[in-house]
């Protein structure tokens, strides 16, 4: 059986959890990272020398890097569905996955860390403000894209929606006032109707 390692409040582990639930395949989840430990063990270091989560072990095939894991799982278990057969649809989904990891999440992560994971008296308010500004600018790009399509790669839910929805979940639930993004908010509400999203994307963000 496939085994996945991660913790529920990690965005990168959430992507894998969300994907596994969407695909409906059997898996075992092992809590790992931060307070759960595991990542410091020699066995874990052999699976992922970065000692980060998530990792999957698919009957002996070990893989780390969350978006690579989502692509692998969708290609293996979701061909024609989460993994679009049409090359250009798949490239579009792929592009949004890369944008999530290189642009969207890095834009607002300093605000997330300071507002959610740092005690009140120790917060860097300038980093919060910069994260809010950059997060709004990135969210506006996504909002504009979603004005004319239901999901990131068109009318069907694909692998591209998994990282984007996980990042939107974090961004839209940060305890701060954000510039409105009506198309992104409509999209997020629709994705959250999916039972896999509701299972993997917990609230509050921690
Ligand atoms: N690029 C990697 C980043 C992995 C990463 O930074 N994971 C974080 C959690 S989101 C981690 O392992 N933090 C240490 C820990 O939880 O012990 C991916 O997408 O999988």
Q: Which CATH number fits domain 87-200: 2.60.120.370, 3.30.720.200, 1.10.3720.10, 1.20.1050.10?
A: 1.20.1050.10
Q: What's the pLDDT score for residue 65?
A: 98
Task: Say if residue 80 is exposed, middle or buried (CB neighbours under 10 Å; 0-12, 13-18, 19+).
Answer: exposed
Distance linking the first and last C-alpha atoms of the chain: 29
Query: Which atom of ligand 1 is found nearest the CA of 64?
Result: 20
Give me the CATH code for the 2-77 domain, please. Answer: 3.40.30.10
CB 55 within 8 A of CB 48: yes
- pLDDT digits 0-9 by tens, 31-41: 999 999 999 99
For the chain, which residues make up each domain, given as ranges? Answer: 2-77, 87-200
Is residue 202 predicted with pLDDT exceeding 90? no
- pLDDT digits 0-9 by tens, 84-134: 999 999 999 999 999 999 999 999 999 999 999 999 999 999 999 999 999
Percentage of the residues of the chain whose pLDDT score is greater than 70: 100
Q: How far is CA 206 from its chain centroid?
A: 14
Q: Distance from the CA of 148 to the center of ligand 1, in angstroms?
A: 33
CB 201 within 8 A of CB 17: no
> Ligand 1 in contact with 33 (CB < 6 A)?
yes
Is residue 183 predicted with pLDDT exceeding 90? yes
For ligand 1, pick from 16, 18, 52 the residue to mutate: most ligand atoms within 8 Å of CB.
Answer: 52
Rg of the chain's alpha carbons, rounded to an integer? 17
Statement: the pTM of the whole predicted model exceeds 0.85: yes
Indicate the SS3 state at residue 100: helix
Instruction: Choose among 67, 84, 65: nearest CA to 152.
Output: 84
């Amino acid at each position: 059986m496939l085994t996945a390692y991660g913790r529920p409040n990690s965005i990168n582990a959430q992507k894998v959890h969300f994907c596994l639930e969407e695909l409906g395949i059997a898996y075992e989840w092992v809590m790992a990272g931060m307070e759960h430990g595991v990542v410091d063990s020699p066995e874990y270091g052999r699976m992922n020398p970065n000692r980060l989560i998530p990792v999957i072990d698919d009957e002996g095939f070990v893989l780390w890097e969350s978006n690579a894991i989502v692509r692998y799982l969708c290609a293996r278990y979701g061909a024609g569905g989460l993994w679009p057969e049409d090359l250009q649809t798949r490239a579009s989904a792929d592009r949004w996955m890369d944008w999530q990891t290189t642009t969207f999440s890095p834009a607002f992560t300093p605000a997330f860390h300071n507002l959610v994971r740092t005690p009140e008296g120790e917060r860097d308010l300038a980093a919060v403000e910069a994260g809010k500004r950059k997060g709004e600018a990135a969210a506006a790009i996504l909002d504009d894209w979603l004005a004319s399509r239901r999901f990131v790669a068109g009318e069907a839910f694909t692998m591209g929606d998994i990282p984007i929805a996980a990042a939107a979940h974090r961004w839209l639930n940060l305890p701060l006032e954000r510039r409105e993004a009506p198309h992104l908010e409509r999209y997020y509400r629709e994705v959250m109707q999916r039972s896999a999203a509701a299972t993997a994307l917990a609230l509050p963000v921690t």
